[in-house]
Amino acid sequence: MTLKKYIVKLAPEERASLLAVTRKGKTSARRIKRASVLLAADEGASDEAVGQKVGVHSATVENIRRRFVEEGVEAALNDRPRPGKARLMNGHQEAYLVALTGSSPPEGRARWTMQLLADRLVELKVVENISDETVRRVLKKGTLNHGSFESGVFRL
């Protein structure tokens, strides 16, 4: 048996709050598992034993131990923010796009295309610049479908 680098020693109030997390039904399964890992680790069980008991890999147990020791209880229980590109359109701009799709298309056109919508948004200074692919993703994300009979806006 190897000596642990990160030893979990819970204060009585930390233990009480972790027990409350595991007994409450209003929290995520990840948070409950992490709380269970910390409680079992505080009892002195090995990573393998804790992993078997809670149903996680021993490496996960070690990572939760490390985060508890280095950053505290809340950091050990919660996910870190995940990296990702910021949204290109805010809610107001998306609403404007959706409203624009419901308007009449430009003169000489039977319907809006993604590129026409992107160009109109830039022309109206709703956004500084935007691609037709971004317009497509924003519209796909919503439930907007003007061509569907079930949507109630079917046009003949």
E-strand spans in the chain? none
DSSP 59-70: HHHHHHHHHHHH
What pLDDT is attached to residue 5? 79
Token readout for 86 is 């910021």
What is the secondary structure of 28-45 as a DSSP string?
Answer: -HHHHHHHHHHHHHHTT-
> What was the pLDDT predicted at 79?
87
Tracing tokens 């003169």 back to the chain, one arrives at: 107
pLDDT means per 10 residues, the chain with 156 residues, are 75 90 85 92 89 92 92 90 84 91 92 94 93 92 58 51
Domain boundaries, given as residue ranges, for the chain: 12-77, 91-151
* pLDDT at residue number 57: 94
What is the total residue count of the chain? 156
Q: Supply the pLDDT for residue 143.
A: 57
At which residue do the structure tokens 């979990």 appear?
A: 8
Predicted local distance difference test score (pLDDT) of residue 122: 95
DSSP for the chain? -PPPSS-----HHHHHHHHHHHH-SSS-HHHHHHHHHHHHHHTT--HHHHHHHHTS-HHHHHHHHHHHHHH-HHHHHSPPPPP-PPPSS-HHHHHHHHHHHTSPPPTT-SS--HHHHHHHHHHTTSSS---HHHHHHHHHHTT--TT-GGGT----
